[in-house]
């Protein structure tokens, strides 16, 4: 069954590179969701966020800069997905740059937008002085009516722009979105991570059945963490595609560095992590590092062995491949392994179903009596264990009252963790156990 997505009124920001589209997007969201850097275009994918303004709700979508003059394969892929975004849009914000004025590229974009036959707001950015205000009349030449002067960097004119957006919405559009907001609040947050070119964006596009994210053979084409809400079989998900995590020696620029930091933040916020492994390459040092990051953040994860069709052609045996993984990856705690192909769309929904089950498991609450029944059945010599209770979930965290917690070694703690994981049927779920010394009252 194809996943379904809520269709909010879509407002898409378009323009040539470096006119400030991502700065506007971040200003509206009041946070740095898109990566912004002064030296040029850094957004490579469509990034969406839900915005509430004047009692209405809409989806604001940032796009990469349009540059028809570049002929590289990646530029063509980016142009293709911008065109897709324009087709989906209910409204367009066409951004220009007051400092550089109207360039030939702006006229080419105008021609594309007119063919789209959409409601268009012309926003002229970087209007930070009265001198630039005087030049606003030039932008009437573009044929989209009165230009709106804004400064995304300093927040000038943003409220007027958002008023214009909501005024253009049909009566009733964007209202009554409570069901979606409730569903999104309880959705499973699924982070999709892996080293560059492991197939993360192909995986996300395959599940969503659309080319929302740039996909090419060039490693590192996804730089932003991209959130997409959707539903499948009445189950809600927020799926996040992230920049590929590289080893420190391969980080060459600030944008890549901040993309990786954003990815690590995403792992912390996720309920479940899908780690994409490039099957023909096997598990590399970078893969081990990624798994370590996920495990240090105590997130349940699925190892999705992508491009398995290519590995099979080379005669790789599935049973042997899995055995090697389980013997060489530390602390797998029976994590799920799925063999799949993002390109051929095989077993993608199996990954999704497993992720939902893991999210349900990790959020469980266990009764104190059941936990203490398990504790009583444990033979444990290092020190006396008095009682246990659950203090948190996602992941489950237990507190055990012990006579002398300092006497318990790391291996003995692992022994207890494994017992509780098995007895509570938490295969694939990290379990945290903390110890507290029993307080004896003097009398």
Task: Please give the pLDDT value at position 86.
Answer: 83
Please state the domain extents for the chain: 9-168, 186-362, 368-437
Please report the pLDDT score of residue 368 as a whole number.
Answer: 96
> Count of alpha carbons within 13 Å of 119, Cβ hemisphere only?
13
Q: What integer pLDDT is reported at residue 214 of this predicted model?
A: 39
For the chain, helix, strand, coil in percent to 5 are: 40, 20, 40
| Exposed e or buried b per residue across 348-384, where buried means at least 16 C-beta atoms within 10 angstroms of its C-beta | bbebbebbbebbebbeeebeeeebeebbeeeeeebbe
- How far apart CA 267 and CA 148 sit, in angstroms, is 39
Beta strand 119-125 pairing with 301-306: unpaired
Rounded distance between C-alpha atoms, residue 308 and residue 314, angstroms: 10
State how far the Cα of 78 lies from the Cα of 96, in Å rounded to an integer: 19
**What local confidence, expressed as pLDDT, does residue 62 receive?**
86
The CATH superfamily holding the domain 9-168 is: P-loop containing nucleotide triphosphate hydrolases (3.40.50.300)
Q: Around 49, how many Cα atoms within 13 Å sit in the side-chain half-sphere?
A: 20
What pLDDT shows up at residue 426?
A: 93
Q: What's the pLDDT at 39?
A: 38
pLDDT of residue 363: 93
- Fold held by 368-437: GMP Synthetase; Chain A, domain 3 (3.30.300)
Task: Give residue 165's pLDDT.
Answer: 92
CB 47 within 8 Å of CB 40: no
CA-CA distances (angstroms) from residue 256 to 40, 200, 218? 14, 16, 14
Taking Cα atoms as reference points, which of 276, 220, 286 lies closest to residue 253?
Answer: 220
Asked if 47 and 62 touch (Cβ cutoff 8 Å), the reply is yes
Per-residue pLDDT tens listing for the chain (443 residues): 445 455 678 899 998 888 998 889 888 887 544 443 433 344 445 677 788 888 788 888 888 766 655 555 445 655 666 677 788 889 999 999 999 999 988 998 898 888 888 899 999 999 887 667 777 888 999 999 999 999 988 888 888 999 999 999 987 665 545 555 555 667 899 988 888 788 887 888 888 776 544 333 333 334 445 567 777 777 888 887 564 444 445 445 554 555 567 667 778 889 999 999 999 998 888 888 888 888 889 999 999 999 999 999 999 999 999 999 988 887 676 788 999 999 899 999 999 999 999 999 999 999 999 999 999 999 998 899 999 999 999 999 999 999 999 999 999 999 999 999 999 999 889 999 999 998 876 64
> What residues pair up with 91 in beta bridges, in sequence order?
11, 119
CA 221 – CA 213 distance, rounded (Å): 9
DSSP per residue, 212-251: -S---SSTT---S-EEEEEEETTEEEEEEE-PPP--GGG-
Predicted local confidence at residue 254, as pLDDT: 56
Q: What is the enclosing helix (H) or strand (E) of 389?
A: strand 385-392
pLDDT of the residue at 38: 39
Instruction: Name the residue among 368, 366, 340, 365 with its Cα closest to residue 354.
Output: 340
Q: In what order do the strands lie in the sheet with 272-278?
A: 226-232, 235-241, 188-194, 272-278, 301-306, 336-339
Same fold flag, 9-168 and 186-362: yes
| pLDDT score, position 371 | 97
Q: Which fold has domain 186-362?
A: Rossmann fold (3.40.50)
């Amino acid at each position: 069954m194809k996943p379904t997505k809520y269709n909010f009124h879509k407002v898409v920001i378009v323009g040539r590179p470096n006119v400030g589209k991502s700065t506007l997007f971040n200003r509206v969201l009041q946070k740095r969701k898109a990566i912004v850097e002064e030296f040029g275009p850094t957004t490579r994918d469509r990034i969406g966020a839900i915005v509430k303004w004047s009692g209405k709700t809409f989806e604001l979508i940032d796009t990469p800069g349009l540059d028809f003059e570049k002929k590289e394969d990646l530029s063509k892929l980016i142009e293709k997905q911008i065109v897709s975004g324009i087709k989906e849009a209910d409204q367009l914000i066409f951004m220009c740059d007051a400092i550089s004025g109207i360039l030939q590229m702006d006229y080419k974009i105008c021609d594309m937008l007119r063919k789209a036959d959409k409601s268009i707001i012309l926003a002229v950015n970087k209007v930070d002085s009265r001198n630039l205000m005087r030049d606003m009349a030039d932008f009437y030449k573009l044929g989209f009516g009165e230009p709106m002067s804004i400064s995304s960097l300093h927040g000038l004119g943003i409220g007027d722009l958002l008023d214009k957006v909501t005024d253009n919405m049909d009566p009733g559009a964007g209202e009554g979105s409570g069901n979606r907001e409730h569903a999104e609040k309880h959705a499973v947050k699924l982070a999709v991570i892996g080293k560059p070119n492991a197939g993360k964006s192909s995986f996300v596009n395959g599940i969503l059945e659309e080319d929302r994210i740039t996909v090419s053979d060039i490693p590192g084409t996804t730089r932003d963490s991209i959130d997409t809400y959707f539903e499948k079989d009445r189950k809600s998900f927020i799926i996040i595609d992230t920049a590929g995590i590289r080893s420190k020696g391969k980080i060459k620029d600030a944008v890549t560095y901040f993309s990786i930091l954003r990815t690590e933040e995403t792992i912390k916020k996720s309920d479940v992590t899908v780690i994409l492994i490039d099957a023909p390459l096997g598990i590399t040092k970078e893969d081990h590092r990624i798994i370590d990051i996920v495990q240090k953040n105590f997130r349940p994860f699925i190892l999705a062995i992508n491009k398995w069709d290519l590995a099979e052609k080379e005669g790789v045996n599935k049973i042997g491949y899995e055995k090697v993984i389980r013997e060489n990856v530390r602390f797998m705690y029976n994590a799920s392994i799925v063999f799949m192909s993002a390109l051929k769309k095989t077993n993608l929904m199996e990954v999704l179903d497993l992720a939902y089950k893991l999210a349900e498991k990790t959020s469980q609450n266990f009764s104190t009596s059941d936990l203490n029944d398990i504790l009583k059945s444990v033979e444990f010599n290092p020190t006396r264990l008095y009682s246990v209770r659950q203090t948190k979930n996602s992941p489950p965290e237990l507190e055990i009252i012990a006579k002398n917690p300092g006497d318990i070694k790391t291996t003995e703690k692992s022994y207890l963790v494994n017992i509780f994981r098995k007895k509570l049927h938490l295969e694939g779920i990290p379990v945290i156990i903390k110890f507290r010394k029993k307080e004896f009252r003097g009398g």
